[in-house]
A and B are shown apart, each in its own frame.
Chain A
Amino acid sequence: MLFFSVALAVARRQVYRVFTKLSFFLPSLFPVLFFLAFAGGLTRVGEVPGFDFPAGYEAFQFVWVLLQAVTFGGAFTGFAIAGDFESGFARRLLLAAHRREGIILGYILASLVRVTFTGLLVAVSAYLVGMQVLGGGVDLFGLVGLALLLNFSATLFATGIALRLRTQQASPLIQTPLFLMLFLAPVFVPMPLLEGWIEAVAAVNPLTFLLEAGRSLIIGEPAGVWFAYGVGAALALVLLGWALTGLRRAERSGS
């Protein structure tokens, strides 16, 4: 019971900060700008020979922007954790929390709330610019599930780094791997159109599986969805260990 009260208290504060402080809130809008820039400015990429995506380029790009939004939602949560340690506020949480794992759950819940808001904003923007969705309710539910699973993993990854470094200097170390993972994937064209080293890297990039599965769901032709969930779940499991060992490190440091 105390575990959940700690988690809810941490989550409530984090959500409150995001939605009441402009500097914390603004990054939530970036994915909308990404979507408008990529889907708007690169629409003719969809006319490249071999580019076969029945729902159109907006829907193709929406899935990537959605996954990008949830990934960076996790990164921003990591920045917040690092900031709490740097300012000393984390001591209040560590001192009061009966079960300290509840602190991590709290940050994860806050991250989920944040990306739900951002995801909705991106979805509304996409509908406004005429995105077609060919998948049904179950497909969309599957897409949302994939996005939330990715957010969970990204938050755990960022949490692990933030808890190890406990300073804002953790930010580039959180951001860079996530940025590489996002862009070393079939971002602008489908996987079959990639060539050379980028194709080789994208083929083993875990994000590719989630992205391709997400795109198959939005056009209502699910392919590789269970495998993508498996990859997402495996990532989440490994990164849960990463975050928990980070918490143990932070506890040992006396932060």
Chain B
Amino acid sequence: MAGSNGIEVEDLVREFKGGLRAVDGVSLRVCEGEIYGFLGPNGAGKSTTVLMLTTLLPITAGTATVAGFDVARQGPLVRSAIGAALQEAALDPYLTGTEHVRLQAALHGMPRKEGRRRGDELLERVGLVEAAGRKVGGYSGGMKRRLDLALALLHGPEVLFLDEPTTGLDPQSRQALWEEVSRLATDEGVTVFLTTQYLEEADALADRIGIIDDGKIVAEDTPEALKAQIGRPSVEAVPQDPAELESLGDVLGRFGSPVAASSGAVAVRLERGAGELAEVVRALDGAGVGVSSLRLDAPTLDDVFLEKTGRSLEGESEDAAEETPA
């Protein structure tokens, strides 16, 4: 059971005009105080799922309860129980950070004193005290994200939805946001539903991960269990002589199928696991191919994604990050 402050979704469907099914029978359970990572490439159905769970988009079919309330029939109660920071921070460039906090408190019907106290506390927590009096139009992308998070937390939500919260953020801001999200779940028992296309983010933050592709969940478990499903590590080698790259590829190809490798290197997933490494070294020696480095890599979430969908997420998330303005 997800518990009263968790999320329960059963056969959730969202169909758009023309019959396009952006979300196609998604079922999942998120327990109280858990961080659930919803991982998938652009257009996989992550944001559409979040829009439905936050009552911003009607459900076509299926059922969903958030914090114990039915999303389709108890929208107002769901909205009172959740906080959400969506992909595009919904901020008014003509208002200051403080004015946003006051507006948000008033929208939630919080008493003025309580709203101010909580707002000041949150602005301090997200490091925006000094910028609070400035118009949001002059904020950087990272500052807007942090303000959005503070606003989402203002009324003390039981469930927090974060839709790609770190897209476009610099590494420092990303790390700070990760720490805050972890603290919220651990110290305050907030249930977090986090969509991301960053494997590293899902790996670092999520207690459990659901991988979504083409509107369907293709895998779901803890990051460790998902990686263990793959089981087989990969080996990457760099030839001493760059001209021997092809020969190196031929030798390694005998031990498994090729996977993405660094520039000037060759990598394969070892079909029979790490035990084959000694044989790889002997085969390279036998073929007279010298290597300057040989590395054994444990399976990653991208390997899981590749296994489940036949595509790699690494390149897609990098492309998306480059396209996203900071």
Interface string of A73-100 (1 = CB under 8 A from B): 0000000000000011111111111110
A1 within 8 A of B: yes
Assembled-state Cα–Cα distance A5/B92 (Å): 19
Q: Is the CB of B90 within 8 A of A88?
A: yes
Q: Which residue in A1, A5, A251 is a CB contact (below 8 Å) of B107?
A: A5
Are A254 and B107 neighbours in the complex by a CB distance under 8 Å? no
Contact in complex: A9, B90 (CB < 8 Å): no
Q: Is the CB of A98 within 8 A of B94?
A: no
Segment at the A interface, from B51-59, B264-272, B294-302:
B51-59
Residues of A within 8 A of B84 (CB): 95
- The answer to whether B108 has its CB under 8 Å from any CB of chain A is yes
- B161, chain A: closest CB distance, angstroms: 9
Contacts of A16 in B (CB 8 A): 95, 99
Which of B58, B91, B107, B109 has the largest count of A CB atoms less than 10 A from its CB?
B107
Contact pick for A9, options B54, B91, B106, CB 8 Å: B106
Closest chain A residue, CB of each to CB of B84: A95
Contacts of B107 in A (CB 8 A): 5-6, 9-10, 92-93, 96-97
CB-defined contacts of B86 to chain A, threshold 8 Å: 91
Q: Does A44 contact B (CB under 8 A)?
A: no
Closest chain B residue, CB of each to CB of A99: B76
Interface magnitude class on chain A: 20 to 34
Contact of B79 among A10, A96, A253, A255 (CB under 8 A): A96
Chain B residues near A17 (CB, 8 Å)? Answer: 92, 94
CB neighbours of A96 from chain B (8 A): 79, 104, 107-108
Q: Which residue of B lies closest to A20 (CB)?
A: B94
* A98 adjacent to B76 (CB under 8 Å): yes
Q: Does A191 contact B (CB under 8 A)?
A: no
Complex contacts, B104 vs chain A, CB 8 Å: 92, 96
- A87–B91 Cα distance when bound, in Å, is 9
* In-complex Cβ contact of A13 among B76, B79, B92 (8 A): B92
Question: 3 smallest A-B Cβ distances: which pairs?
Answer: A9-B106, A254-B57, A5-B109
Could you jot down 20 A-B contacts, CB within 8 Å? A2-B76, A5-B106, A9-B106, A12-B103, A16-B95, A16-B99, A17-B92, A21-B94, A88-B88, A88-B90, A89-B92, A91-B86, A95-B90, A96-B104, A96-B108, A97-B79, A98-B79, A98-B109, A252-B58, A254-B57
Known: A95-B84, A253-B57. 6 other contacts (CB 8 A): A13-B95, A16-B95, A21-B94, A95-B54, A98-B79, A254-B48
